[in-house]
Amino acid sequence: VKSVMEPLSLREREVLRAAAQGLSNGDIAERLYISINTVKTHLKKIYGKIEVSNRTQALRKAHLLGIMEEFD
């Protein structure tokens, strides 16, 4: 068990913010001027850092951890 969560990078936070807005991977890629594969890579890194396995869990846990408040 990790005692300290590895912080999300700025780009990972941008991807997570876009996902929280309900955007698809394709829409996130267009918004951030990156490829869909890059979006998927960022999401996988986010999932690993906050120890979840999908987008729904990631958004819920990010909210619980206070990560989502950083966006306001």
Whether residue 32 contacts residue 14, with contact meaning beta carbons closer than 8 Å, is answered with yes
Convert the pLDDT of each residue in 24-55 to its tens digit: 999 999 999 999 999 999 999 999 999 999 99
Outline where 1-72 has alpha helix (H).
Answer: 10-20, 25-32, 36-50, 55-65
Mean pLDDT of the chain: 91
| Residue 71 pLDDT greater than 70, yes or no | no
- From CA 59, how far away is CA 56, in angstroms rounded? 5
